[in-house]
Amino acid sequence: MQLGVIGLGRMGQIVVDRCLDAGHDVVAFDLSAEATAEAAGAGATPADGVDDLCNRLGAEKRIWLMVPAGDPVDATLDDLEPHIGEDDVVVDGGNSHFEESVRRAEETDAAYLDCGTSGGPAGAHLGFSLMVGGPEWAYEAMVPVFDAVATGHEGHDRMGPAGSGHYVKMVHNGVEYALMQAYGEGFELLANGRYDLDLEAVANTWNNGAVIRSWLLELCEEAFREEGNDLGDVADHVAGGSTGTWTVQEALEQEIPVPLIYQALAERFGSRAPDEGRFARRLANRLRYGFGRHEIERQ
Ligand SMILES: NC(=O)C1=CN([C@@H]2O[C@H](COP(=O)(O)OP(=O)(O)OC[C@H]3O[C@@H](n4cnc5c(N)ncnc54)[C@H](O)[C@@H]3O)[C@@H](O)[C@H]2O)C=CC1
Ligand SMILES: O=C(CO)[C@H](O)[C@H](O)COP(=O)(O)O
């Protein structure tokens, strides 16, 4: 199958690589010529703009957007608009707000799939978990690509109509915040508690059979191994926060209590005050690098 990929950063490059590995033809474009060249080096056909990318795709175009959420998605859709019609499929694999995705699905001539993507750059070899919203026929048309980009056939599913994929991913991120906060608080207590503990060893023991084992806990283990038991110079500052804010806003609107997710979000905002040296926040800062390759802020 032939796929156009627009946005070739940490995540888009993996979409390209995994599609090429699965035998698909990829036409790739990024505003950064360096990123486009990297995709070409992996075997994709480089395009020098959205027009060029579309001209290189045949009929029934299949296009994956992996640009930052917000204006870059709308700008790319504006550029695509003269080239796409009802037989084409556009996938937005970024962290867009679900309501924006509903609007875009209504405004776009092509079938529009909002695709929540989880796994981060570190999941390159394993594949992603994909939560897809939009028309069923378009989802079915993209299955060969989803099979390649996800962990396999079980790694993707259609959640429902337009917006539902990004809605599920938004809630996923809220859960991610709360889990990070829970691990952070536990390790903060252990780091400052009664015993002189090796936290990497604790995390390793928990990861082998404990009820609370998980990938995030494996990333805690990696953080202690690489930064040291006291997390070295990792700062008490947690960036990000938009997807968690959306989750809490939606919970308020639906009158669903989400106190843990709210508290985790509040801790992030609290971390923006002068450095208090909170261990839980320093671990969250380091974990965001672990799963998303978001820059570690250091003291
Ligand atoms: N990093 C992560 O762990 C995850 C990221 N995401 C989402 O995936 C999307 C992409 O994230 P990353 O790859 O991490 O970002 P990134 O910053 O590494 O890459 C974004 C790329 O898009 C390019 N770009 C920006 N505007 C463009 C435009 N108008 N046309 C063409 N290229 C353009 C940039 O030059 C850059 O190469 C975001 O929505 C992000 O929230 C989703 C899941 C996990
Ligand atoms: O989606 C992700 C992980 O699942 C990204 O890493 C995202 O950037 C994390 O959310 P935020 O930036 O709101 O902390």
Structure-derived torsion over alpha carbons of residues 43, 6, 16, 128, reported in degrees to the nearest 10: 180
Indicate if the pLDDT at residue 61 is higher than 80: yes
Ligand 2 centroid to 147 CA: how many Å? 23
The band of 37, judged by pLDDT with boundaries at 50, 70 and 90, is very high
Q: What is the pLDDT of residue 273?
A: 83
Structure tokens at 261: 């997710």
Average pLDDT of the chain, as a whole number: 97
Indicate if the pLDDT at residue 89 is higher than 90: yes
Q: What is the pLDDT of residue 274?
A: 77
**Which of 91, 86, 89, 87 lies closest to 101 in space, CA to CA?**
91
Instruction: Over range 197-211, report the average pLDDT.
Output: 98
Ligand 1 centroid to 95 CA: how many Å? 9
Indicate if the pLDDT at residue 4 is higher than 90: yes
Options 1.10.760.10, 1.10.1040.10, 3.40.50.300, 3.40.50.2000; CATH of 169-292: 1.10.1040.10
**Which of 243, 294, 244, 288 lies closest to 265 in space, CA to CA?**
244
Q: What is the pLDDT of residue 151?
A: 97
Indicate if the pLDDT at residue 230 is higher than 80: yes
269 lines ligand 2 (CB under 6 A): no
The Cβ of residue 42 has, within 10 Å, a number of other Cβ atoms equal to 16
d(CA 175, CA 154): 21
**Which one of the ligands is nearest to 292 CA?**
1
118 lines ligand 2 (CB under 6 A): yes
Gyration radius of the chain over CA positions: 20
Q: What is the pLDDT of residue 107?
A: 98
Portions of the chain given CATH number 3.40.50.720 = 2-162
Query: Degrees (nearest 5) of the Cα angle 48, 50, 51?
Result: 90
Query: Is there a binding annotation on residue 23?
Result: no
Q: What is the pLDDT of residue 276?
A: 84
Instruction: Over range 101-111, report the average pLDDT.
Output: 98
Helices assigned H by DSSP within the chain: 12-21, 33-42, 50-56, 71-80, 98-107, 136-141, 143-149, 164-192, 199-207, 215-227, 242-254, 259-270, 279-292
DSSP conformational letter for 297: P
* pLDDT greater at residue 39 or residue 275: 39
Ligand 2 centroid to 118 CA: how many Å? 9
Query: Is there a binding annotation on residue 103?
Result: no
Query: Degrees (nearest 5) of the Cα angle 126, 2, 7?
Result: 65
CATH classification code of 2-162: 3.40.50.720
Portions of the chain given CATH number 1.10.1040.10 = 169-292
100-138 b/e (C-beta count within 10 Å ≥ 16 → b): bbbebbeebbbbbbbbbbbbbebbeeebbbbbbbbbeeb
Angle separating helix axes 164-192 and 259-270, nearest 10 degrees: 70
d(CA 38, CA 259): 43
